[in-house]
Structure 1
Amino acid sequence: MSYNFADLFEHSVDAMPERIALIQEDRLITYRDLDIRANQLAHYLAAMGVGSGTKVGFQLHNSIETMETLIACFKLAAVPININFRYGVAEAAYVYENADLEVLVHHAVFADTVRAARAHAPKLRHCLSVDDDEVTAEAEIGTVRYELAIAAGATWRPFTARTGDDLFMMYTGGTTGKPKGVMWRQEDMWRVLGGGIDFYTGEPVADEYQQSRVGKANDPSIWFILPPLIHAAAMMPTFTALWSGNTVLFEPRFDARRVWQAVARNRPQIMVITGDAMARPLLDAFAEESVDAGSLIAVASGAALLSQPVKNALLELFPSAVVSDSIGSSETGFGGIGFAQKDDDPARGPRVQTGRGAVVVDEAGRPVAAGEEGWLAKTGSVPLGYYRDPEKSEALFKTVDGIRMVVTDDRARAEADGAITLIGRGNMVINTGGEKVFVEEVESVVKSHAAIYDAVVVGVAHPRWGQQVAAVVSAAGADGIDFGAVLAHVREHLAGYKVPGCVWVAEEVVRAPSGKPDYRWARGVTEGRDPDHRSK
């Protein structure tokens, strides 16, 4: 059997060729036509020397062409590399070079950044430019218009040796350091994030045809994928939907008002989001102009957890829908899922039922007893390591008592009922006077106050305590923020040393496309000006 991304997709094509695979605004494409266009692109890329192991970057917002590019690469056993489309020249050039890119597919709107960045990546020899709704691709040296490449390729499937060992690689966001390429076997990634193990029952899928076989026997549902496909939180749900015969709905860019218009027009059953960064604007837009969203039966957040006030609001807005949080990362894949309940204690910490080998371990890598804290780890299907970084790979990916695992920087507590409570990232801990403060815990409570729209917590220098807890926040309304009331609210839930001593107000809290906090940006805010509030 070959548990390979391209094979799994082709099984769906063969079983359900006339079903709609993708919807992007007013564009629809069937499984058959998506397969044909991916074949054409694959043949063009093969003629350019792309083959097994070749690194092909994609600097694209969500679109049909993005999926064609991914599928074409997998058909050739090439390795698509996600390039954050928000990167500046220096950041993009770093990933181009670090990933050993040879080919890049990008939307035309990013042409200026690509042109400047590729000058620092000598291995990048060929670019394809995709028209988008803002810019039409222009011909230039070393760049070909995407549709010309499609037209030049044959329609039949390329003959390529593909296996479950083919490489899947995902670059981390780099919000706390340089981006790193996490290497997976495709079969392992399928097992942990692609439906190769049932998310709810934990049962492994029996064979490579099971997803398409079950999909053919059932009516398709529509999955509205809102996060960018440059992140696994969007890419893997998209492939899971396609491997099981469903339809995926895209918007090129996140615009909350347009999202609800698309919901009313297309009637999706499942909406995938990333935390408060998407949920809050969606709630605001719905309050301003509501639509018929009764088709939604599930709202699933991945990559960034929802705050309790947002969970409450979603449950009130969609009383018959399931609202879920999932934990995981590029290094672990799926680690567990939790279902929202109203009015939980915001200081309790996110709690999930574990899945597929998630465990809390001590410093030696051995499981801790119920009630004890340790490091969140993952066993079973885990990555091969970091690309071009054996030192960090050795530090994170370990073998303990004959069991291979990835031990993360996340602190967690094992619960008696088998659940795991997340405490926070160890590499983001604030040491204030010898007390350790996890920023996620403080962020959760700060965001639970009605006056706060969003918040990021960092440590700032303090002459007595070494570090002090600080927050960068945005306001929920036009009336401003009563800092005394907010901090009193935090003090009701947390110890005094965890209460932010300094607060900066920003018009908007900056986050990565994945929805994760941008801590480098927040530190820049704290270093750039005096705080708007300082405790006595």
Structure 2
Amino acid sequence: MSTPGLWHIAEQQPDRTAVIDTDGREISYAELSARANSYARGLRELGLEVGDAVVVLQPNGAELLAAYFAAIQSGLYVVMVNWHLVGPEIAYILTDSGAKAFLAHERFAEAAVAAAEEAGVPARARFAVGSVPGFRDIGLLASGTGRQRPEVRTAGSPMLYTSGTTGRPKGVRRPLTGADPDEVPAASTWFFGIFGLAPFDDHVHLCGSPLYHTAVLNFVAISIQLGHTAVLMDRWDAEEMLRLIERYRVTHSHMVPTQFRRLLALPEEVRARYDVSSLRNMIHGAAPCPLEVKRRMLDWWGPVVTEYYAATEGGGTVISGREWLRKPGSVGRPWPGSTIRILDDGGAELPAGEVGTVYMKMGDARFEYHRDRAKTEQARVGDLFTLGDVGYLDEDGYLYLHDRKNDMIISGGVNIYPAEIEGELVMHPKVADVAVFGVPHEDWGEEIKAVVQPADGVPPSDELTAELLAYARARLAKFKLPRSVDYLPELPRDPNGKLYKRKLRDPYWAGREHAI
């Protein structure tokens, strides 16, 4: 029996709240579906056909979700663009995806105009929420088309672009299924089931990260499809999150370790001020979580903190809070239907406890990087693929990650994993953020460099460097110690916590070939 999704809920429970928008306005299922229908009909009248792409450059909000659900019921690929990108980067995505329509927001007007011009998007296919020069008001996309469902309805799909930290981003484009968009995919219900989330079980989802991120979009869209109200934040703030949890009795969210650290940095009296007893499953991934941060969150929120490791391309692991206390540092066991293997550089499988490259797959699912068959094949061994992470499986099948293979430091022939060093240094009270990587060394090949973002009010100094290195010496073997520390006012992370380490590392290797 299929699960009734957005459009069925809109018919059966039209006044049910689908979204709490960023301004606190409540959007009903009837209102959200009607807006999605209008956009879908407008895109069809514009000439978009099944298999075409629409690009969306918008902040979190009901407008973005209406555009998403318009594409999902029209057989379109919908590309959510990272709004931190500049005009030429967005133009590349418009061109690479073959976008037939571009839906932007006035907040990003300058980048939107530059991208549309460079990519040659026709004026008739440019629409904006608010005022953007050369773009038509998005209301015109829906005007005169009616609020009924479009005549042709077939399931579309997100087309997510990888972050592109090692070159041009690549679109992950899956074949369209031809399924009925009124039927929630069994995979969505199954995926939420991994985290103990079921249809119509009074869950409330809090979205504090940008919806251009794969997992964030999935969690919000599936929540709405399963009858869970989604509470949207425009920009994440630690205390505001606690306020929203209490106000709307939030039960689940998708978070990153950076947010945990900022929550823990709140004064104890602030944290104690808010009732978080409604929480059932606070799910995190996307970046390594220092062990001490995880322990402190479990102490505060209880065993509702669940970690997972996954890929846009498919497959992953999960571990509950209770399991993690038994297996600290693990990212869990494979999901049902997912396969995790550890392979050596020759593609041979390694036994439990031996470190190698992590490969995975999800059932028989296949994907390809859009217009990049070479990258697709490079990431595969047989029907398995890798994100380039290094780790091992223990005797019980729990996965432990060491680092990204490309981030690994080889110093004097010894493999050193920066994530371990970062996890120790970031717990120093004078450190707000830290990145560790290898820099050139004539004898050893590479030596360890730490780049630190000091905590607010802490000035960089030789004394601070000495204090941090002494702190590290008490916690790490000598061969893992940074040989030098540099300082920056802020490290380059995206809002989901992903560190753009290459931006930090590359200047040190300018004019030289990287050792990896």
TM-score range, shorter chain: 0.7 to 0.9
One-letter identity of the residue aligned with 1:195: T
Q: Tell me by how many angstroms 1:360 deviates.
A: 2.0
Structure 1, unpaired ranges of 5+: 132-136, 203-210, 529-536
Structure 2, unpaired ranges of 5+: 511-516
Checking the alignment, whether the CA contact within 8 Å between 1:22 and 1:28 is kept in structure 2 is yes
1:283 alignment counterpart: 264
1:268 alignment counterpart: 250
**1:295-310 alignment, distance < 5 Å:** 295-310=278-293
Checking the alignment, whether the CA contact within 8 Å between 1:359 and 1:367 is kept in structure 2 is no
Are 1:224 and 2:215 counterparts? no
* Alignment partners' CA distance in 2, 1:124 and 1:433: 56
**1:107-506 alignment, distance < 5 Å:** 107-123=105-121, 126-131=125-130, 137-138=131-132, 140-141=133-134, 143-162=135-154, 166-185=156-175, 194-197=188-191, 199-200=193-194, 215-216=199-200, 218=201, 220-276=202-258, 278-285=259-266, 287=268, 289-290=270-271, 291-294=273-276, 295-319=278-302, 322-339=304-321, 349-355=329-335, 356-363=337-344, 365=347, 367-379=349-361, 380-399=363-382, 404-476=383-455, 478-479=457-458, 482-506=464-488
Of 26, 29, 33, which aligns to 2:27?
29
* Alignment partners' CA distance in 2, 1:431 and 1:29: 53
Checking the alignment, whether the CA contact within 8 Å between 2:307 and 2:320 is kept in structure 1 is yes
Are 1:91 and 2:89 counterparts? yes
Are 1:519 and 2:501 counterparts? yes
Partner-residue secondary structure (3-state), 1:423: strand
- The farther-off stretch of 335-344 and 293-302 is 335-344
Partner-residue secondary structure (3-state), 1:487: helix
TM-score, normalised via structure 2 length: 0.87
1:531 alignment counterpart: none
* Alignment partners' CA distance in 1, 2:189 and 2:412: 46
Checking the alignment, whether the CA contact within 8 Å between 1:176 and 1:518 is kept in structure 2 is no
One-letter identity of the residue aligned with 1:386: Y
Partner-residue secondary structure (3-state), 2:10: helix
Partner-residue secondary structure (3-state), 2:167: coil
Deviations 1:391-428 (A, max 9, x none): 111122443xxxx3223311120111111111111122
* Alignment partners' CA distance in 1, 2:379 and 2:210: 27
**Distance of aligned partners of 1:185 and 1:339 in 2 relative to their CA distance in 1, 3 Å threshold:** farther
Q: Tell me by how many angstroms 1:361 deviates.
A: 3.0
**Distance of aligned partners of 1:111 and 1:446 in 2 relative to their CA distance in 1, 3 Å threshold:** same
2:16 alignment counterpart: 19
**Distance of aligned partners of 1:151 and 1:515 in 2 relative to their CA distance in 1, 3 Å threshold:** same
* Alignment partners' CA distance in 2, 1:235 and 1:369: 36
One-letter identity of the residue aligned with 1:180: K
One-letter identity of the residue aligned with 2:146: A
Q: Tell me by how many angstroms 1:187 deviates.
A: 6.6
Partner-residue secondary structure (3-state), 1:13: helix
* Alignment partners' CA distance in 2, 1:185 and 1:286: 49
Root-mean-square deviation (Å): 3.1
**Distance of aligned partners of 1:312 and 1:99 in 2 relative to their CA distance in 1, 3 Å threshold:** same
Checking the alignment, whether the CA contact within 8 Å between 1:61 and 1:107 is kept in structure 2 is yes
Checking the alignment, whether the CA contact within 8 Å between 2:203 and 2:228 is kept in structure 1 is yes
Q: Tell me by how many angstroms 1:507 deviates.
A: 1.9
Identity fraction in percent: 25
* Alignment partners' CA distance in 1, 2:261 and 2:122: 39
